[in-house]
């Protein structure tokens, strides 16, 4: 009779992963809140109450909560429920519709603020956990879903707004999750759940934590977001465009027009120039150029590497407050 061979199970590794997820949730959930709004909408000659719901994450112990703009855009009365069950009235401290972010202030101190990770370091395939309050108070309390980062640097259109540079995940993001955190296996916030596509199975999106950090800091300090502006209209240069216009480079951003008296104009840029670097970092698209410019504050300088008529030169630009051109 053959002997039965028992092979050692890898259940200890499974337990380790489960424990890591549980610990991440325990850490992350303390800073998650539920938000309900009660506003009014006008229909013809009548006004009716409108209730909204979503989630939020505490970003400062002095009572500042970050959430999505679309969660609070109706205004009205705000009610915030903390993870320990306390209900507190809130008020809007600032909103930024273009990034779908807002800050709610509650009159409570010593709150458990979330730890924000560097979202530039996240990798496709890494484990992430969405924490929020889907369907509001119908389910009662927070829920958790787990998945992976499916993609990064995604752009999506939400009604009349395009949200750029998002994290895509297969972690289920349901109604009411908006504004809740997407955390890594260490319980650190890598993004804020912002939207889901109802007709696409298993696709959710989150605003990167680095974007959340910058926007929230501006909203808390100034009540608005101050974005830097270069003052050009440009287009992405690829091999086809370079060949068509007989350009000396096949990568970069072509300057189509320059705003009069704008930062680029004052630095000497003109139509036909090709920007290939910003502060020593290569630029291959207009989207990338915008991102690099917006990483700086108005009044700061950027050094552009520019190709013109076969020659190369550096231009130092003093950025200003964002206006209408890219």
For the chain, what is the domain count?
3
Residue 199 lies in domain: 119-222
Q: Which of 4-13, 124-133, 218-227 has the lowest mean pLDDT?
A: 4-13
Q: Whole-number mean pLDDT of the chain?
A: 85
Is the pLDDT confidence value at 102 over 50? yes
pLDDT attached to residue 156: 79
Q: Which of 96, 99, 100, 218 is catalytic?
A: 100
Indicate if 248 belongs to the active site: no
Portion of the chain with pLDDT greater than 90, in percent: 53
Q: Which of 34, 133, 178, 193 is catalytic?
A: 178
Indicate if 100 belongs to the active site: yes
pLDDT attached to residue 6: 44
pLDDT attached to residue 324: 43
Verify that 215 and 232 share a domain, yes or no.
Answer: no
- List the helix and strand counts (H, then E) for the chain: 6, 20
Let me know if residue 7 belongs to a domain: no
Rounded Cα distance between 133 and 125, Å, is 25
Verify that 130 and 91 share a domain, yes or no.
Answer: no
pLDDT attached to residue 194: 85
Let me know if residue 34 belongs to a domain: yes
Name, in order, each residue with C-beta under 8 angstroms of 209's C-beta and a sequence gap of 6 or more.
116, 117, 118, 119, 189, 190, 191, 192
Phi, psi angle pair for 93, to nearest 5°:
-90, -25
Let me know if residue 8 belongs to a domain: no
Q: What is the CATH number of the domain that holds 309?
A: 2.30.42.10
Indicate if 40 belongs to the active site: no
Classify residue 214 as left (phi > 0), alpha (psi -120 to 50) or beta: alpha
Is the pLDDT confidence value at 3 over 60? no
Two tokens at 180? Answer: 């809740």
Q: Which of 54-63, 83-92, 131-140, 278-287 has the lowest mean pLDDT?
A: 131-140
Q: Which of 55, 70, 184, 273 is catalytic?
A: 70
Q: What is the CATH number of the domain that holds 81?
A: 2.40.10.10
pLDDT attached to residue 60: 95
Average pLDDT over residues 77-102: 91
- Give 43's pLDDT tier (boundaries 50, 70, 90): low
Verify that 316 and 238 share a domain, yes or no.
Answer: yes
Let me know if residue 113 belongs to a domain: no
For residue 17, the surrounding DSSP H or E stretch is: helix 11-29
Tell me the per-residue pLDDT of 228-255, one tens digit each, with 9 for 90 and over: 989 998 899 999 988 888 888 889 999 9
Specify the pTM: 0.76
Verify that 218 and 239 share a domain, yes or no.
Answer: no
Rounded Cα distance between 53 and 135, Å, is 8
Let me know if residue 16 belongs to a domain: no
- Give 138's pLDDT tier (boundaries 50, 70, 90): low
Tell me the per-residue pLDDT of 30-41, one tens digit each, with 9 for 90 and over: 999 999 887 555
Let me know if residue 52 belongs to a domain: yes
Tell me the per-residue pLDDT of 194-216, one tens digit each, with 9 for 90 and over: 866 655 566 889 999 999 999 99
pLDDT attached to residue 326: 43
pLDDT attached to residue 46: 47
Find out whether 59 and 113 touch, Cβ atoms under 8 Å: yes
Q: At which of 64, 85, 106 does a domain end?
A: 106
């Amino acid at each position: 009779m053959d002997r039965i061979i028992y092979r050692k199970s890898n259940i200890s590794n499974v337990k380790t992963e489960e424990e890591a997820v549980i610990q991440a949730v325990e850490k992350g959930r303390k800073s998650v809140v539920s938000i309900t709004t009660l506003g009014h909408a006008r229909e013809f000659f009548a006004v009716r109450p409108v209730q909204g719901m979503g989630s939020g994450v505490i970003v400062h112990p002095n009572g500042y909560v970050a959430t999505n703009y679309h969660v609070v855009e109706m205004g009205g009365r705000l009610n915030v429920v903390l993870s320990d069950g306390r209900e507190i009235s809130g008020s809007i401290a600032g909103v930024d519709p273009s990034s779908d972010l807002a800050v709610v202030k509650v009159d409570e101190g010593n709150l458990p603020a979330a730890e924000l990770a560097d979202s530039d370091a996240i990798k496709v395939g890494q484990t992430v956990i969405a924490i929020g309050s889907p369907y509001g108070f119908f389910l009662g309390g927070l829920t958790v879903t787990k998945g992976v980062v499916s993609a990064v640097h995604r752009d999506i259109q939400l009604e009349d707004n395009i949200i750029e540079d998002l994290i895509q995940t297969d972690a289920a993001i349901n109604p009411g999750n908006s504004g809740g955190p997407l955390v890594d296996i260490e319980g650190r916030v890598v993004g804020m759940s912002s939207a889901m596509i109802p007709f696409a199975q298993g696709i959710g999106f989150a605003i990167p934590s680095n974007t959340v950090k910058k926007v929230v800091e501006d909203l808390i300090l100034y009540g608005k977001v101050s974005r830097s502006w270069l003052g050009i209209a440009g287009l992405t240069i690829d091999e086809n465009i370079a060949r068509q216009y007989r350009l000396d480079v096949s990568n970069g951003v072509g300057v189509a027009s320059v705003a009069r008296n704008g930062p680029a104009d004052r630095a000497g840029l003109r139509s036909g120039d090709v920007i290939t670097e910003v502060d020593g970092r290569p630029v291959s698209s207009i989207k990338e150029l915008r991102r690099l410019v917006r990483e700086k504050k108005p009044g700061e300088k950027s050094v552009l590497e520019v190709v013109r008529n076969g020659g190369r030169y550096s231009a130092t630009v003093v950025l200003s407050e964002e206006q209408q051109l890219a």
